[in-house]
Structure 1
Amino acid sequence: MNRTPWRRPSEPLDHAELAELLPAPGDPVLSHGRLTRIEEHLMYEIQQAQARGTADERRRAPSGGSVPPPERPGRVGRRAALVAAAVAVAVLAGAAGAVRLAGQESGDLAGPPKGAVPASVVQVAQGTTEGLSSTVAQISGAAVREKLPEPRPGQFIYIKSQVSWLSTSENADTGRNETYVQKLHPRQVWLSPDGRKGWLIEPGNDTTTQEGLTLDDNPDNPARPSIGAPSYDYLKTLTTDPDQLLRKIYKETAGQGNGPDQQAFTTIGDLVMEQVMPAELASALYRAAAKIPGVVVVEDTTDAVGRHGIAIARTDETSGDRTEWIFDPKTFSYLGERTVRTRDAEGIKAGTVTGHTAITQRAVVDAVKEIPGAKDNA
C-alpha cells in the first residue's frame, strides 16, 4: 500500500489505510429519549460552565471591584434554552461519523428535523423615527392599563407562546449548509416570583421532553437575580424613571452583545417578552427603549401566528438582523417579536425571517405545570 510521500515514518496510518485494515463499523442508533437526555445534560454543563466562569471572575476581581452577578445556573431563559439545544444538535452532528441518528441515512446525518420548512423571505418594510414618541406613548399607556394579578409567594407566573427559529445544519459528508425554519410550536414557562423555581415545556424543538425541564436554581449555588436574569421580585425593585432605568441597563450590560445600544435594546426585549412585571415598570421600559439610538417604528408586521401589528424595531449593525417588538395596532398590547435579516450575510438572504414568536397567554397560577383555567374546567 502506498504511503503519503511527505509523512514521517512515525506518523500513524491515515483513514483510508485504517478502513482497509479494520472491519466495517457498526451502525449504532440512539433513541429519541437518549438524544433528549444528552441535550439536557449539555444544557446543564453550559449553565455550570457559565457559573464557574463568573465565580472565577469574582475571585480574580480586585478588592472593592464589582463583577456583574451571575445568571442563575439552574434556570434557563428563552434564548439560553434555545441556544443550548442548538449546541447539543451541533455536537451530535459533529459526532455523526461515529453515531448515526435514528431514521437518517449516511448522506443526511445533520439534515433538518422532521417538519422543518424552508425559511420564509419577506419584504423588509422601511422603519422611521417619525411618530416614534407618540407610538411609544400609546404602548406605555396600554402597559399601565394592562395590569395582571401580582404573584404571591408560592404562586407561579405562566407564559404560553408560539415560537419558531431559523437554524442552519451542515451535512457531515458533503459540508453543504442548509437553512431551515423550525415548525411553529408551543412553549410554556412557569416561573416563581423569587426566580428560584420554574419549569419549561417545549418539546416541539426537542428543547425538552414532553414532561419538560426544571428551571430550579441549584440549591448548592443559588445566584442573585440581575437585569439579564430577572425575577418578578427583582423587577419590583427597579426604578420606573426611564432615564435612570436606561443608564442601569447600559451599565450592567457593558461589554455584552454587538455594542451597547443593541444590547440595551435586546435586554429590554427579553425583559418584556417572557415575564409578568409591574405595569409601571413595563411602561418605563418602553419609554427607555425609545431613547436608544437607531430605534424606529415599523407600521405593519406580523407575529408568529399571523397577527398584524405595529412594531418598535432596531437593526443590529453587526449582524444585519432587525428585531421587531410587535403590538396590537388598536389596543397597543404586546403580541410578540420578529427578527428579520436586512442584508445578505452568511448565506442568508435579506428578508429572511430568523425568529418568530407570539405570546398567547400570560397568567398567575398556584402551582408549577398548572394550566390556567384547568381547575375551573375540572
Structure 2
Amino acid sequence: MQLSELTPERRLATIGGLGRAFLVTGTDLQQVLEQLAIALTASLCDGCSILLTPASGVSLAVTRRKTGSPDEAIAGTDRVHAMPFPRSDLVHGTVAVTRNRGSAPFDSDDLETVTACVEYASLAIESALRFEADRLCQARSGHFQKQVLGIVGHDLRAPLGSIVVGTELLEMDVKDDPGAMSVLKRIDTSVVRMRRMIDQLLDLTRARLGDGIPISRTKTQLLPLVTSVIGELAMTQSTTKLEVVGADITGVWDPDRLGQAISNVLTNALQYGREGAPIVIELDTIEGAATITVHNTIRDEPIPPDVLARLFEPDRRGVHDVRHSKSGLGLGLYIAAEIIRAHGGSITAV
C-alpha cells in the first residue's frame, strides 16, 4: 500500500491499535515510545525518531524505519515533519517523521493522524509517570511508617521498662509506708495502661501497613485458653461473673494473639454490659469451624444498626464511651477483628 492511499478507516484503525498496545506496555516508557514508532512507521511514515525527556528521570530515544525502506536522503521540507509532545509538566520531547522520495508528501490528514498518535502517547507517558510517582510516594510513606513503628516499639517501651524497675526498687524501700505504696501502685497501673496503648498502636500500624498482624500458629486447646483469659480479667473486677460453656476444641492457632482477641472482646463486654449481669462465652463448632460466642446484656439502650455495622473499625466507640474510655484508645475491637482475620476467620456483632 502506498502511504498516499490511506483511508479514514485505516487512520482510525492505526490510532485504535496504538491504544490497545498502550494497555499492554503499562508503565514501561521505553515500550510506549517503541509502540508509537511502530504505529507511525506501519502506515504513516517511512522513518521516525522520538526523543523524550521526562521532567524527572533519564532521557529516552527511539529511531525506527519502515521495513525495506532505503536509508536515503530526504528531499524537500514536505517529506519531514517534527512536532513536540503536547505541553505538560511531566513530558517534554519531540517526534520527527519522514517520508522517502517515492512516497507522497505529508498532507493535512496525515499530520492530523500523526498528531493524534503523539497526543495519545503523551497521555500514556503521563499516566505511567504519575503511577510511578505515586508508587514511590507510597513506598516512602510505608518506610516512614515502619520507622515510626520501630520508634514506638523501642524508644517508648524502653523508658517504661525503667519505670517498672524503678518502682519495684522503691516498693522494697517504702513497703511500710501505705501512702508511698499507694502512689507507686498508681504508677504501676499507669504503666500497664501505657503498655497497652503502645501495643495497640503497634498492632494498628502493622494492620494498616498491609502486612497484617503477624501470627505464629501452634496446636492450641481453646477451653484452657479462654479459662486463662477469664482468670486474668476476674482479677480486675469482681461484680460480673464470666462463665465459659461448651466442649473443648483443639486447633492450630496463635494462642497469644487469640487470647488477646478474646480478652479485647470480653473487656468490651465488661465495659458496656449491664453491671452484675453474667457474661457467657460459648464454644462450639459449626461446619468444622470453631466458634466463640460472647453473650452479654447491654447496659442501656441497644446499639444502633449503623454503629453496630462499624463496631470493629478503629476508634468506633459506643454512646457511653465518655465514661468508659479511660483505659485505651478505642482500638480493642478493631485489633481483635484483625487477629481473627489473620487466622482466616471473621467476627461480627449482633
**Same fold per superposition (TM over 0.5):** no
Q: Which structure shows the higher helix fraction?
A: 2
Q: What TM-score, normalized to structure 2? A: 0.24
Q: What TM-score, normalized to structure 1? A: 0.22
Question: Which structure would you say has the larger Rg?
Answer: 2
